[in-house]
Amino acid sequence: MENYFFDFDGTLADSRDTAILSTQAAFHTLGLEIPEKDMIRYYMGVPIEVSFKEMAAPHHFSTEEFETLLTHFRQFYQTFEDENLRLFDGIKAVLKQLNQEKKRLFVVSSKHALPLRRNLITLGIFDYFERIIGSDQVKNYKPAPDGILELLSRNQLSTTDSIMIGDAIFDIQMGKAAGVKTCAVTWGAHEKEALKAQHPDYLVNQVSELLSL
């Protein structure tokens, strides 16, 4: 492969605790029923603009209430990320190696571009990526292929030499919809069997295996 599209949360970085704490705190602040940890983990692959409505069902939000919930979440996230957000072991070494091999690296994430950029910089890996795409930069969220299609078009990349790497079924569905190869990683949000059911081209259990794609 020549072009690597990485998911961020659960693939490059372990943000599980940050997401769980921030989500539960935001829901609590608005007096909503607090989602269980497993539910939050399942929805980590899609933007909060979608997942929060699913987790709050059958509650119906007014526009103002929902925007308030999102604002609280983002504020809590920035507070909790300092102590809880970290790279998975070996990720930085893999990115460095791929970069040295002149591979083209990108990030396609379900979080907004601004916090995504902040996280990448804080974790010391921002410079490895040619471009990043956040959920606020696409018309349709994952598992729609918009983010990958934008990168393919703008950078004149071949689908046959490109691969989407992610920990959630939504990442694999997005990659397939975009017509690129797919690689599921088992150290993130979704269980191995659920990932297998999506029939990714590759399924890896160790970070170092990413160098063999």
pLDDT at 82: 87
Reading across the β-sheet that carries 3-6, which strands appear in turn? 131-133, 104-108, 3-6, 162-166, 181-185, 202-204
- The verdict on 26 and 76 lying in the same domain is yes
Report the number of distinct structural domains present in the chain.
2
Confidence at residue 45, expressed as pLDDT on a 0 to 100 scale: 80
Domain of residue 44, CATH code: 1.10.150
Q: How far is it, in rounded angstroms, from Cα 96 to Cα 38?
A: 33
213 residues of the chain, pLDDT tens digit each: 999 999 999 999 999 999 999 999 999 999 999 999 999 998 988 899 999 999 999 999 999 999 999 999 999 999 999 899 999 999 999 999 999 999 999 999 999 999 999 999 999 999 999 999 999 999 999 999 999 999 999 999 999 999 999 999 999 999 999 999 999 999 998 999 999 999 999 999 999 999 999
**Residues 80 and 118 reside in one and the same domain:** no
State both tokens at 162.
């490109």
CATH number for the domain that contains residue 193: 3.40.50.1000
Instruction: Provide the pLDDT for residue 84.
Output: 92
Q: What is the pLDDT of residue 46?
A: 85
Q: Which domain holds residue 110?
A: 3-14+86-212
pTM of the model: 0.92
Residue ending a domain, among 84, 101, 132, is 84
Give the C-alpha separation, 76 to 169, whole Å: 26
**How much is the pLDDT for 28?**
97
